[in-house]
């Protein structure tokens, strides 16, 4: 009788453990496109957060190319899967809003990170850094590379990318300051976060602007592609590349001389923090109102502003003195 009772208890416990009450919260990390080293590193951080939280499963997904249409299709699929939360880096702030609003109407918690969504399409947006600080950093690194005068161009991601567009506007404000009046912005082009297109756009800038001195690329794909184009076209020392890049992808370009310095925040911490924030919304500890304090685990705590946004730390500068060290991590 005791043996039968033990068996029944074991079966009951097993059933309880696999019942919906004990099921892991599924959090989808939807990135601009797959195959991007920045987002792969963010996923690493997301997995670290899930391990720490214990009751979370990460669904890492994104379209093959950085398009809003691809992300909309993915979000519709996630709604059907009834995930607990969607954390997205958006390819278009407006186009994604309706489908993400539909997700929220079905009880799914929606947050954006890195590249934001319109306010009505999410509960919170986590900026990796302050936008004005990023714009200032991009211009300062350019001036440090080429001096106070010269023609510069911007090689961005997509024309609809929320974050890059904001950073470019912030950089333009800095370029308008008296200290940088000698730097002339001659063009803004878009590589759509594709290596081959970004490479071709950089080559096009060389031809269109023979006096070009620098390319600013606020995208990890674009900055590496532009640096390679500078090397391949034998323009090292004549044209410098700077922007936002990953140490693991940029170490060789720093060594070649195509890049003097670049910046980035820690994408592992960004992915980790985004999942930690999402778990706070799932549990009901925060709702997204202004003043909410959102715990980001090991990273600290951020406070939401009136737009439901919060920012992490200032971007860190990498150069020949430290890039090899950090290339081992991301």
Residue-level pLDDT at 23: 80
Q: pTM, whole model, 2 decimals?
A: 0.88
Token couple for 9: 């208890």
> Backbone phi, then psi, for 19, in 5-degree steps?
-75, 160
User: DSSP readout, 115-139?
Assistant: S---GGG-SEEEESS-HHHHHHHHH
Question: Going from the N-terminus, what domains does the chain have, and what CATH number goes with each?
Answer: 2-128+267-313 (3.40.50.2300), 131-264 (3.40.50.2300)
**What is the longest distance spanned by two Cα atoms in the chain?**
90
Residue-level pLDDT at 25: 97
* Per-residue confidence band for 11, with pLDDT thresholds at 50, 70 and 90: very low
3-class secondary-structure state, position 190: strand
Residue-level pLDDT at 273: 98
Taking residues 300-315, report their average pLDDT: 94
Distance separating alpha carbons of residues 162 and 116, to the nearest angstrom: 6
DSSP helix, strand, coil percent of the chain (3-state; round to 5)? 50, 20, 30
With 80 as the cut, is the pLDDT of residue 297 above it? yes
With 60 as the cut, is the pLDDT of residue 19 above it? no
Residue-level pLDDT at 22: 56
244-283 pLDDT per residue, tens: 999 999 999 999 999 999 999 999 999 999 999 999 999 9
139-155 pLDDT per residue, tens: 999 999 999 999 999 99
Q: Are 68 and 117 in contact (CB under 8 A)?
A: no
79-138 pLDDT per residue, tens: 999 999 999 999 999 999 999 999 999 999 999 999 999 999 999 999 999 999 999 999
186-230 pLDDT per residue, tens: 999 999 999 999 999 999 999 999 999 999 999 999 999 999 999
Token couple for 170: 């912030």
The overall average pLDDT reported for the chain is 93
Percentage of the chain exceeding pLDDT 90: 92
Q: Show the 3-state SS of 171-185.
A: HHHHHCCHHHCCEEE
Taking residues 293-298, report their average pLDDT: 97
């Amino acid at each position: 009788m005791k043996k039968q009772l033990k068996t029944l208890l074991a079966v009951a416990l097993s059933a309880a453990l696999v019942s919906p009450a004990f099921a892991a919260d599924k959090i989808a990390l939807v990135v601009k496109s797959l195959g991007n080293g920045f987002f792969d590193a963010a996923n690493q951080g997301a997995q670290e957060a899930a391990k720490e939280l214990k009751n979370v499963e990460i669904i890492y997904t994104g379209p093959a190319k950085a398009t809003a249409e691809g992300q909309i299709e993915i979000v519709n699929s996630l709604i059907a899967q009834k995930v607990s939360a969607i954390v997205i880096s958006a390819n278009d702030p407006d186009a994604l809003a309706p489908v993400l609003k539909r997700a929220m109407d079905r009880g799914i918690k929606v947050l954006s990170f890195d590249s934001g969504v319109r306010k009505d399409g999410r509960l919170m947006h986590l900026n990796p850094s302050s936008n004005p600080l990023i714009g200032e950093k991009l211009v300062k690194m350019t001036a440090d590379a080429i001096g106070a005068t010269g023609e510069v161009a911007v090689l961005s991601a997509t024309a609809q990318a929320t974050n890059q567009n904001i950073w470019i506007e912030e950089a333009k404000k800095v370029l308008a300051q008296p200290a940088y009046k000698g730097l002339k912005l001659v063009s803004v082009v878009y590589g759509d976060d594709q290596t081959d297109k970004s490479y071709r756009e950089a080559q096009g800038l060389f031809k269109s602007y023979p006096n070009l001195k620098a390319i600013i690329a606020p995208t990890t794909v674009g900055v590496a592609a532009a640096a390679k184009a500078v090397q391949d076209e034998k323009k090292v020392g004549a044209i410098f590349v700077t922007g936002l890049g990953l140490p693991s992808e940029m170490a060789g370009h720093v060594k070649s001389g195509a890049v003097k310095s670049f910046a980035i925040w820690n994408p592992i911490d960004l992915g980790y923090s985004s999942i930690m924030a999402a778990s706070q919304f799932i549990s009901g500890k925060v709702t997204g109102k202004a003043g909410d304090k959102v715990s980001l685990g090991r990273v600290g705590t951020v406070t939401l502003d009136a737009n439901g946004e919060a920012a992490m730390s200032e971007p860190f500068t990498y150069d020949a003195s430290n890039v090899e060290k950090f290339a081992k991590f991301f």
